[in-house]
A and B are shown apart, each in its own frame.
Chain A
Amino acid sequence: MILILSDRQDDAVEMVLPKLRARGVPVTWWDPGDFPARGSLTAAFTGQGHRIVLDTGAGAGPLDLAQVRAVWWRRPNRPTPAENVTEPSHRRHVVWQAEFLLDGAWELAPARWLPARRDVERRAHNKIIHMARAVALGFSVPETVYTNDPFELAPAYERAGGDLIAKQINSDEFTLDGVDHRTYTTVLTRRHLTSRHRLRHEPVILQPYVPKAVELRVIVVGDRVFAMEIDSQASRTARDDWRHYDDDRVRHGAHRLPEDLERRCADLVAALDLTYGAIDLILTPEGEYVFLEINPNGAWGFVEHHTGLPIAEAIADWLAAAETENGSTDHE
């Protein structure tokens, strides 16, 4: 049995699901956001061991987690209390209890995970951790400072010759004047230096602006590596941060990485105890590949969409291999 943990509207799952079905492997797609309001989970212990049974509430019957060979941890929602649990502290209580049980159940499920169990994924997502691993593996990285020291700002600006960018340590939602705002890659001007005291309030990432020939998104699935180049420099909108998306002007195409770099990308994913990763690189006009970051559960659907690279097939292969290696294909 393959267990997919993700939101019911997840397009990426829709891309992989038919390929799993074509391989004849049993699949359960469940969103932990349905727990505990609709689904139920029971972990029962006896002197002989334990049994953990998930009932998704979808009418498919109980699923013994011992039968799960592979788990795809995609974009699950947090546990959600039933609607008639209305008191806010009760709702928080429900979420906390539910998350605790789920974490334990996933830990005990004898399956392999894509990209990893939650705590491993969270650790790998941390930018200073994965940058340290990348440096250790020989990736070229920009001279980067993670800091909330206001007095680091002007020296970083000068070291970068005035071409300095700032990024947030971790993406998060916030509002300004009650309206949703975003922080993209911010190219600094001298104006930014005049409010250096604000750095005290939260750490940021400071990096020299790395000139780009193209940007790259590299998808690693197990030991398979797929790379897409993003010609963000063709667009004024997207040239500093391709997440501004300007598909009318920005060309996307498959990219052939040098063999050693391709291997290093797979090594980085493995070094972080992941089985999947989305790595962002820059290829400079001088031909140097520069590592920016890895997102352990980063988007790959648009890579396949733009390039036709068979990433959904690779994910299906990886998940299905666990099932066939264990020889159990009698559940649907």
Chain B
Amino acid sequence: MSDFATALASGVRLLRGLPRRRADVEEARRAAAAWAEEHPGLRAQLVVDERPGTPVVDFDLLVEDPEGGTVALTAQAEDGVPWLIDHSTHWAAGQLVSVDEVHLSVAQALTMIRSLSRRDMTPHDEIVDQCLILNEIRKETEPVDAGDLQAAADEFRRGRGLHDRASTMAWLAEMGMTLPQFETYIGGVARRRGFRRRMEAELGPARLAAAPGAFDRVRGVWITGPETSLAACAGDLARVHDGGLAALASGDGDIETTIAERLAFELPEPLRDAAPGTVVGPVAHGGTFLAGVVLTRAAAVRDERTLAAAGRLAFSQWLAERRRQASIEWHWS
């Protein structure tokens, strides 16, 4: 047998012994490099073929042909693994997350990201919430409400400055979406929006009745910043009706001052139940410190604004409870 034939047989033995798993590729590379050093004339290189969606990898060994050109070696050992099983993919390949019965593909997640809007949540949490809603609506067969459809389309276009058909079509072209795909996508957004709207309307009145104090209209002043700076302003908060507000306004730049009317549950937590005139804080809050005072508090009224807020709050609590109960599995690898 020629030296080259002997080297090729050795190369085949090398390939048959390499570990065919993604996690072991470095080990395979080291083995191939050692083999290449033993056969310097062949200028051998290992090519790793990492298949998507599976830990299985394939190898080729490129060597220089003494008569010119390249010889590519590949070898598959007889390990008893059936062909289609060897070429199978992980059950969640191409998926980002499974939430109960919903398996969200990476492509769907990327599309979904376009419609995420909550600034107080990470995209990670909001995707889970959207999947929870998808679980709820996956059996819906009724056509999407025309009002929800229009509102979803308008909101989507407004959020991207797509004020006319031409700009919408240009945006679709840029995104690689056809008009029917866009309509399907908006249909999905509208269905999720419709579910949220129905749930808010259903849950809101009971939520308001259960804890009306959470929906008191409260006007207050609060300041955030370093604890020592806030402590120095406690007196200004106590006499906020008597020049204190002006004093706060002229304070140093360390302190951020807010004067606002909110529903009680929307206030910073330390102020929610405070009686008018009582100075609260400084207390640790949201990674900084907060002090404040409630100026006025009016008992909740069952009007449209309050019911809408109660619905939003109840729905977010419903989602939190569903999230707690849900089976959530991220497929990062």
Shortest Cβ gap from A206 to chain B (Å): 11
CA distance A204 to B143 in the complex (A): 41
Known: A181-B54, A248-B108. A199 touches B83 (CB 8 A): yes
CA distance A201 to B188 in the complex (A): 44
State whether the Cβ of A197 lies closer than 8 Å to any Cβ in chain B: yes
State whether the Cβ of A192 lies closer than 8 Å to any Cβ in chain B: yes
Residues on A with C-beta less than 8 A from B108 are: 246-248
Task: For B92, give the chain A residue with the smallest CB separation.
Answer: A180
Contact: B76 with A237, CB < 8 Å?
no
State whether the Cβ of B278 lies closer than 8 Å to any Cβ in chain A: no
Residues on B with C-beta less than 8 A from A204 are: 83-84
Selecting from A59-67, A99-107, A171-179, the interface stretch reads A171-179
State whether the Cβ of B266 lies closer than 8 Å to any Cβ in chain A: no
Contact among A11, A166, A249 for B184, CB-based, below 8 A: A249
- How many chain A residues touch B (CB < 8 A): the figure is 38
Contact: A202 with B82, CB < 8 Å?
yes
Residues on A with C-beta less than 8 A from B185 are: 248
Contact: B88 with A201, CB < 8 Å?
no
Interface size class of B (residues with CB under 8 A): 35 or more
Known: A183-B88, A237-B105. A308 touches B83 (CB 8 A): no
Contact: B94 with A237, CB < 8 Å?
yes
Contact: A179 with B90, CB < 8 Å?
yes
CA distance A234 to B49 in the complex (A): 28
Contact: A192 with B87, CB < 8 Å?
yes
State whether the Cβ of A168 lies closer than 8 Å to any Cβ in chain B: yes
Contact: B85 with A174, CB < 8 Å?
yes
Mask, B66-103, CB within 8 Å of A = 1, is 00000000101010111111111111011000000001
State whether the Cβ of B162 lies closer than 8 Å to any Cβ in chain A: no
Residues on A with C-beta less than 8 A from B135 are: none
**Dominant secondary structure of chain A at its interface with chain B:** mixed
Task: For A305, give the chain B residue with the smallest CB separation.
Answer: B141
State whether the Cβ of A245 lies closer than 8 Å to any Cβ in chain B: yes
CA distance A202 to B88 in the complex (A): 14
Known: A181-B89, A182-B89. A191 touches B49 (CB 8 A): yes
Known: A186-B87, A304-B141. A197 touches B78 (CB 8 A): yes
State whether the Cβ of B139 lies closer than 8 Å to any Cβ in chain A: yes
Contact among A177, A183, A197, A308 for B55, CB-based, below 8 A: A177
Shortest Cβ gap from B166 to chain A (Å): 23
Mask, B197-237, CB within 8 Å of A = 1, is 00000000000000000000000000000000000000000
Task: For B183, give the chain A residue with the smallest CB separation.
Answer: A251
State whether the Cβ of B287 lies closer than 8 Å to any Cβ in chain A: no
Residues on A with C-beta less than 8 A from B103 are: 245
State whether the Cβ of A331 lies closer than 8 Å to any Cβ in chain B: no
Task: For A235, give the chain B residue with the smallest CB separation.
Answer: B107
Task: For B80, give the chain A residue with the smallest CB separation.
Answer: A201
Residues on A with C-beta less than 8 A from B88 are: 174, 176, 181-183
A-B contact pairs, 29 of them (CB 8 A): A11-B139, A166-B83, A168-B84, A176-B85, A176-B90, A177-B21, A179-B90, A180-B91, A181-B90, A182-B90, A182-B93, A183-B88, A183-B89, A191-B58, A192-B83, A194-B58, A196-B83, A198-B81, A198-B82, A198-B83, A202-B84, A204-B84, A234-B180, A234-B181, A235-B107, A244-B94, A246-B108, A251-B184, A304-B141
Given contacts A179-B90, A182-B88, A237-B107, 13 further A-B contacts (CB under 8 A): A166-B84, A176-B54, A183-B88, A184-B89, A194-B76, A195-B86, A204-B83, A204-B84, A234-B181, A237-B94, A248-B181, A248-B185, A249-B184
Which A residues are within 8 Å of any B CB, using their own CB? 11, 166, 168, 174, 176-177, 179-184, 186, 191-192, 194-199, 201-202, 204, 234-237, 244-249, 251, 304-305, 308
Which B residues are within 8 Å of any A CB, using their own CB? 21, 49, 54-56, 58, 74, 76, 78, 80-91, 93-94, 103, 105, 107-108, 111-112, 139, 141, 143, 178, 180-181, 184-185, 188
